[in-house]
Every structure is written in C-alpha cells, then in structure tokens.
Chains A and B, each alone.
Chain A
Amino acid sequence: MIRFLPVALLVSNLAAQIPPDVTMERSGFVSWLKTGSNSPLFAIAQQRVGEGLRLGPTDADIPLSGVDEHRVFPGTAGLVLEGPDGRRPIGRGGPHRIGRYALYLSGRQGTVLTVFGDSAAKEPPGYYDYDASMVFTGPLIRLAAPKQLRILGSDGIEVEATEVGSVIVPLGGRTSLRVLRIPFSGGDESDLEIYFRDETNGNGTYPAGRFVSLYPLPNGQFRLNFNRARNPFCAYSSVYPCPAPWRGNTLRAAITAGERYSGGGLQTVPTEPAE
C-alpha cells in the first residue's frame, strides 16, 4: 500500500507555478548565499578549536593572507581570540572580525571555528524548474522507540539527532525514507529532516545527496516537497565535512526538483551509509 501519495490536483494545475512560500524561501536563501557574512560560499576554512588554533601566517593552522598572527584558544573564561591588539573573549555565533575575515564559532560536541572571506567563491547553483509532481502528502510512520544518534548536520557540524520514524514515497517503487529530528541550537525549534540520495546524484545534483525537510500539516499529515531539497554545505565549499548518506535513504528514481549542483565543493564524498 502506498503510504505517501502525490497531491494529484497540484500536479495537473500547478505544474509550472512555484508556490509563493517556496519562492520566498528560495529568494531568501539565495540572497543569503550571495551576501551573508556566514554564507558557505564565503567559507575558506573550518577546523575544531581543540586546544587552540593559529591563524594568519602561511604556516598557521589557518593561513589568512594579510593577517598578522592570531590565536583562538580555550581560556579560563571561555574561548579567547588573541592578536596584536590584545585578547578578548569570543562566543558562539559571530561574526568576530579579523581584517577582512569573519570568524564564527559553532558546534555542541566541541567548538568548531569557521572562517569566511569577503567574497563568494562561486555563484549559487540554482534550482530545477518547479515540479508539482514532486510534492507528497501522507503520514509519518513513527518508531515505537525513537533513537538518538550523532550525525553531521547539513552544515557539517556534529549534532545529536533523534530518529523519529519514516515516510514511504511512491518513487522508484515504494521507498521508505528515514526521518530524523535535528534540533536548532537552543530554543524550541527543530526540523524533521530527510537526507536522501537519488539517480541525479553526480549528474545534476551533489554526489553525496541532499536534505529535505518534512512539513507537518494541520490535519496530522506531513508534506514532503522535493522542490525544497537543498545541498549540504559541502556542496558549496570543500571547507565543510560532508554528512555520510543515511542508510536506506536511496531513491531509485531521478528527483529533478530542488537545488542543483554546479561543481566545486568537496570532491570526495562519503559513500558508507551512516547508521
């Protein structure tokens, strides 16, 4: 029995129309990719802080042209940024500026430093034409006992996620896709995410796969819109580690919807499925 059904009316009536909320989402995202100070297209380095990192000189952990030696290290009162002008505490988030570079700290399981330059390495990759046949509505089949597991999020940062269940889509036969809840840092919000692979990977989309969020509907059902599929950050820049594909989440069909891939990014991607 097919558990996730295409929204038939949308297929026939809205094939060429992008819903306004998807247009807004894409436009906000592309604008951020092009101009945001923490856009992955601006990223030039990412490393765990560990016991400390040297930044600046050519032999530093993170060489930054035109920047005198700086250090980021754990001090007695949290993380410290030290440079020729002295030292100051720096917190998670950012930006912390050094010359033309912006530093951001993130991560819960150990702090990760990401350095961003002031120009994008390339243009955002763009999207496939909107395809209303790639919108599905149905139930989330919940696990009796949700499982906690550590994974890499779309930004390559390790996160404690919860596997809550699966959805079944009528693509490539019937494919069951695992669904994980990935929390935002702090607060009450989280996303139900699916990291999936399909036959466009390496041929139009990023080889490692793409993320897509599951949207809860007021009637207790969920909507899976592959037009909202988006790249992991490793597709934009080789600075980011790539999440390993989730076991089983491979569609034997070409999902020509959502964000495309235009080259660059991390060339060697994990192939072993994550637990």
Chain B
Amino acid sequence: MMLWVAIKATLGLAVLSQPEGSWRAVLDLAGGPLPFAVRIDRAGRGWRGELCNGVKCQRFSKVRVVGDSVILENADYAATMTAALRGDSLVGHYHNVGSNGPRTIPFRAARGRWPITRAPTSLVGRWDATYFQDLETSPRVFEFRNTLAGIEGTLITSTSDYGPFSGTASADSFAIGYFDGSFVYLITGQLKGDTLRGIFHAGLKTQTPWVAVRSTGAPHLKSPTEITSADTTEPFRFRFPDLRGRLVGNDDPRFKGKVVLVDVFGTWCPTCHDGMPGLLELYHRYRGRGLEIVGLAFEVTGDTAVDAPLVRRYRDKFRIPFPLLLAGTSDVEGIEAALPQLHGAGAFPTIVFLGRDGRVRRVHAGFHGLAAGDQHQRQVREFEEEIEKLLDEKRER
C-alpha cells in the first residue's frame, strides 16, 4: 500500500511537472511583487510562450525545458527567466547583463490566471503626477481605466508612455506593474481625499515617491514637438547603408517629391516596437497619395555584423516594407553626429516629418502607445492632420 502511494505520488508529480498552461507570475522587487502573466504551450516537439501585461502579450523568443528547469528567453533584450518547475509553481530568477554585471531579480509563478480586479471609479481617469527625485521634481501623467482584463493604467512622460500596467486595486489603493523583459516597473499608490500618493518602483530596488492630483486638462507635460528642434532652412540630409549594404540617402528617387516620415529608432527600444504598428498603418493608408517612411536604426554596437541581424529581425517581426537604414550608434553623440540638423535629439523613437521639398516640418520626440489612451488618440489625430496637410502642399517644381 505504501509503495502504491509512493508510485502514485511520483506519477502525479510527473504529470504535473509540465510547464504548459497559464501562470500567475511576479518579480519580487524590494518594494513588493510586480505582477504579470506567462503562458506556455507545446509547439511540435518544443515549446513556445508569451509574457502578458493585462491584454498585451508578447512572444518569448525561445522557451526551453531542461530537466526540471524552464528557461524563457527574450532575445530582444538579452534577457532570460530561469525557473525550477515544482508541480504547480515556478521559482527562479530574471537575469540580464549590463555593463556593470548582471541584474538578477527573483521570479516566481503559480498555475492559473490572475483574478480580474477593477479600478474603483474614484481612481479611473487622468492624474497629474509629480515625482520627487533627490535633487528635483519632474512631471508625469497617470491614466487608469478598466478593460476586459480589469484595471489597466499607464505612466506618461513628455515623450512616451511606459506601456499598459496591470495589477490589483481596492477601494483606496492599487499596485500595477509592467514588465516586458527589459523594463521592470511597478506603481503602488493610495488615495487619500482627492490626492494620490505612492511609489514608482524601477528595477529591483529603485523607488521614487510621487504625488498626483486629478488632471484639470491644463498641460502638465512638455509637448513632444517642443523637445527636439531641427534646421528647417535646408532639406533634411541622411545617407546610410540599408540591410544589403546599399547607401540610401534623402535624395534617393523613392523620396523625391514625397512627404517623408523619418523614424529614428532602435531595435533595443520597447517604445519603438510599440510605435511601429501605427506607423505601418499610416504608411499603408497614405502611401498612394505620396507618403514614404524610412527607418534610421541607431543600434547599440554600430557593428554591422551585430546590428544588421537585429534590424532584420525587427523588419521581419513587423513585416516592414519601407527601407531600414543602419544609421549609427544609439548614444546621444551618435545621433547628433549622424543627423547634425537635429538639435536635442535623444528620445527613441523620434519621428521627423519632411514636406515634399525635403525640409523638416515637425519633429515628434517619443511615442505614446495605445496604453496612453487619450494621449495616444490625440497623437494619432495630430499625425494624420500633419500628413494630410503636408500631402496637400504643392510639389516643388
């Protein structure tokens, strides 16, 4: 009898010890757990999986199961999560390597899905926040709403949003996180009267206190068009190799007389990944009327052998039909040296709008993605209006 129980237990463990299914996952930051979801499925003889923040999911580049270890890889950010599978739990760590060594954050997961919790009406809406850093304060905007997956929020800066945060909320407090394999963010807060107070957690142990009040509608952030300026007196010049090594410049016939959006991006930049579907939509909608787009990739190494495969993967991921050029390295000096007509460039992505005469009409620093809600919609409208206006300009003779 005892032997039978032992065998059953062993078999039971063997059956349970498969990683497929939905997982409620957290990174254990110093200030509390950052929640997200993981889904693992069989794919032929191997495995595949995705990482989700609320309704937004992204594929792991590779999922491996070695013995009782599950290894979830995100090649875009050279990051891995390695965990031991113990029946209904995964316990391990998230790991990626920077210049000062590895960043290691405890990771754990339990089988199942996160319960759906909704944001109280007292929290839903737009809040003007102020971060209290050591030497200064700086503005942010929070937006909270309810989706089919429950509470969703985001954090908006002058140039971008931080993606869709998901998590939990009660009558007067909330904890929502965003983790995409690179960014590790958690916002915790409490409502007291008409004021929200809380902590913004970045990575394992960085914490920034903040205070927020209901947005009145008055501008709280700097406009994305006021951050980077450009020389508008002459056509905007660029000339860089494409992925086949052929030099492509602003004087290429495909751009002549066209309205051109120059997308300054990097494959390492999550906000650029967020922004690309919107750019593709604009491209397909307006191309017949004379819109062109060119992507200028500013990568980490500047080494074609390293960078070109990354840009190819980015191109293939989004099925990008317009040219992507290897423009240089992603540090500020690299951008300024490659594009000397831009001043104060540093936000990724930055979208430079060129009129049919090739001159700069607008520089939009950063990108507010879907998670930014109204800010995203306003940005889409502004892009469309600007493109329509530029398309309507007469061709230069």
Contacts and interface: CB of A to CB of B under 8 A. Distances in A.
Contacts of B92: 24
A275 B123 CA distance: 46
B338 A78 contact: yes
A129 interface: no
A76 interface: yes
A88 interface: yes
A245 to B, nearest CB: 20
Contact of A162 (B31, B91, B135): B135
A97 B300 contact: no
A36 B97 contact: yes
Interface string B254-286: 000000000000000000000000000000000
Interface in B94-124: 95, 97-102, 104, 106
Report, as a range, how many residues of chain B touch the other chain: 35 or more
A4 B106 CA distance: 26
A28 B338 contact: no
Contacts of B301: 90-91, 93-96
B55 interface: no
A148 interface: yes
B303 A78 contact: no
A255 B74 CA distance: 39
B304 A218 contact: no
Contact of B302 (A91, A215, A218): A91
Nearest to A95: B301
A155, A181, A189, most chain B CB atoms within 10 A: A189
B30 interface: yes
Contact of B330 (A91, A162, A216, A217): A91
Contacts of B93: 24, 28
Contacts of A185: 98-99
B99 A24 contact: no
B299 interface: yes
A216 B202 contact: no
Interface in B341-397: none
A33 B200 CA distance: 31
Contact of A189 (B134, B206, B303): B206
Given A78-B328, A91-B330, A25 B104 contact: yes
Given A78-B334, A96-B301, A89 B206 contact: no
A78 B345 CA distance: 14
Interface in A1-46: 20-21, 24-25, 28-29, 31-32, 36, 38
A154 B98 CA distance: 14
A146 interface: yes
B106 A24 contact: yes
Please indicate which of the listed interface residues B134, B304, B329 has the most CB atoms of chain A within 10 Å of its own CB. Answer: B134
A217 B31 contact: yes
B75 interface: no
Interface string A226-255: 000000000000000000000000000000
Interface in B170-195: 185
Given A91-B299, A164-B134, A189-B203, A153 B331 contact: no
A78 B202 contact: no
Given A28-B95, A76-B337, A91-B329, A21 B28 contact: yes
B205 A192 contact: yes
B207 interface: yes
A272 to B, nearest CB: 25
A29 B102 contact: yes
A191 B31 contact: no
Contacts of A206: none
B331 A32 contact: no
A192 B206 CA distance: 8
Nearest to A93: B300
A92 B202 contact: no
A190 to B, nearest CB: 5
Contact of B205 (A76, A93, A162, A216): A216
Contact of A20 (B106, B207, B304): B106
A29 B185 CA distance: 23
B231 interface: no
A190 B104 contact: no
B30 A78 contact: no
Given A20-B106, A188-B203, A191-B205, 19 more contacts: A24-B93, A25-B104, A32-B102, A36-B102, A75-B337, A77-B328, A77-B334, A79-B329, A79-B333, A89-B329, A91-B329, A91-B331, A95-B301, A97-B303, A106-B99, A164-B134, A216-B207, A217-B31, A218-B31
User: Lowest 9 A-B CB distances belong to which pairs?
Assistant: A91-B329, A188-B202, A189-B203, A77-B337, A89-B302, A28-B104, A78-B334, A24-B93, A91-B302
25 contacts: A21-B28, A21-B106, A24-B104, A28-B93, A28-B102, A29-B101, A31-B102, A32-B102, A36-B101, A38-B99, A76-B337, A78-B329, A79-B329, A88-B302, A91-B301, A91-B331, A92-B329, A95-B301, A96-B301, A96-B303, A97-B303, A106-B99, A148-B135, A185-B99, A216-B30
